[in-house]
Structure 1
Amino acid sequence: MSKNKTTAVLSETAINKLPYRPCVGLLVLNTKGEVFVAQRNDMRSEAWQMPQGGIDKGEAPRDAALRELEEEIGTADAEILAESADWHSYDLPRELVGRLWKGRYRGQTQKWFALRLRGGDETINIETEHPEFSAWKWVGIGEVAEFAVPFKRDLYRKIIEEFRHLAA
């Protein structure tokens, strides 16, 4: 096994001792009830995701959601429609644990928010100060999970079921 922290694969025991990174996730809807998904600019695969990001120390999840909206898709022109009833967690694949977030987390625990974009497509700008996405599109709510990386699909299905009524 390599001793380089960026490529080390941690043991199952070591991974199980790691905490989850506290985050928010954003299911952003347009006026047609379609969901915003974006392609990460640091991935080679065709996996798409909904916006998400860490909660800063002392920051409320709702505030983090609005901050992440602006940081990731360049707009604050949205209203929060709902907040997930529970926190949802997912584990990273074992080979990624030592590579992401300096190996400090086993995955993420997320509070999800459904938001409705008030403006049109012209309000979205993924060319932010620190861009995370290379492309974006709207998809039907039933299609979101199939665009995601495999380790996030179950989580996405739970979020979609909780917020599906908002897309109607």
Structure 2
Amino acid sequence: MAEPDLSLYRPNVGVVLFHPDGRVWYGRRAATPGPWNWQFPQGGIDDGEDYETAARRELAEETGVVSVDLLAQTGEWIAYAFPADYGGTKQARGFAGQKQKWFAFRFTGDESEIDLETHGDIEFDTWRWGRLDEAPDLIVPFKRKAYEQVVAAFAPLVV
């Protein structure tokens, strides 16, 4: 299978937030029916923004979390294509999918810091801690292979 033309993919960041005990943070996408509606925080990169800054900003906007230490990041882009019938705004702007740089952060704050309504656009309606290896079974199928790569990249961080 040929590699995708990543110039057609929207640059994006993703965040795996690790609890000090090794579990990871999952958010349930607001107004998205199950069963595959849990995911990690992710979002676009602003013009001139470096990847880590974008990851920290997206994490804060989507979860309220700012008390974190950087553990690791992926080197290569991890990409996924939008399904033909996806019809989202990013696809409408001509993107074939998203390419992501992923960051692993250790949560160093108190859970009271987590506020899903901290930003105007609410991404998640609830959250929970879970095992990292659950991720591919929780995410929408078209993102599954990307999440398998993220799990493999960050599995050594599980305590």
* TM-score after normalising by structure 2: 0.89
Quote the residue 2:138 is aligned against: 147
Q: CA deviation at 1:120?
A: 2.9
Pick which of 51-60 and 41-50 moved more.
Answer: 41-50
Quote the residue 1:42 is aligned against: 31
Indicate how the Cα distance of structure 1 residues 150 and 66 shifts in structure 2: closer, same or farther if over 3 A, else same. same
Quote the residue 2:81 is aligned against: 91
Does structure 1 conserve the Cα–Cα contact (< 8 Å) formed by 2:116 and 2:124? yes
RMSD: 1.7
Q: Extract unaligned runs of 5+ from structure 2.
A: none
Q: Which runs of 4+ in 1 moved over 3 A?
A: none
Aligned equivalents of 1:160, 1:137: Cα separation in 2: 17
Aligned equivalents of 2:109, 2:6: Cα separation in 1: 44
1:19 equivalent in alignment to 2:43: no
Quote the residue 1:51 is aligned against: 41
Indicate how the Cα distance of structure 1 residues 128 and 122 shifts in structure 2: closer, same or farther if over 3 A, else same. same
* TM-score after normalising by structure 1: 0.85
What amino acid is aligned across from residue 138 of structure 2 in structure 1? F
Aligned equivalents of 2:150, 2:119: Cα separation in 1: 28
Indicate how the Cα distance of structure 1 residues 94 and 18 shifts in structure 2: closer, same or farther if over 3 A, else same. farther
Aligned equivalents of 1:166, 1:95: Cα separation in 2: 36
Aligned equivalents of 1:99, 1:69: Cα separation in 2: 22
Quote the residue 1:128 is aligned against: 118
Quote the residue 1:164 is aligned against: 155
Q: How many residues align?
A: 152
Mapping 1:23-34, distance limit 5 Å: 23-34=12-23
What amino acid is aligned across from residue 76 of structure 1 in structure 2? V
Q: CA deviation at 1:102?
A: 5.9
Indicate how the Cα distance of structure 1 residues 73 and 17 shifts in structure 2: closer, same or farther if over 3 A, else same. closer
Render the CA deviation track for 1:11-65: whole Å, top value 9, x for unaligned. xxxxx89811100000110011111111111322332110000000111011101
Corresponding residue SS for 1:95 = coil
Corresponding residue SS for 2:137 = helix
> Identity of aligned pairs, percent?
38
Aligned equivalents of 2:59, 2:152: Cα separation in 1: 22
What amino acid is aligned across from residue 156 of structure 1 in structure 2? Y
Q: CA deviation at 1:156?
A: 0.6
Indicate how the Cα distance of structure 1 residues 159 and 17 shifts in structure 2: closer, same or farther if over 3 A, else same. closer
Q: Extract unaligned runs of 5+ from structure 1.
A: 1-15
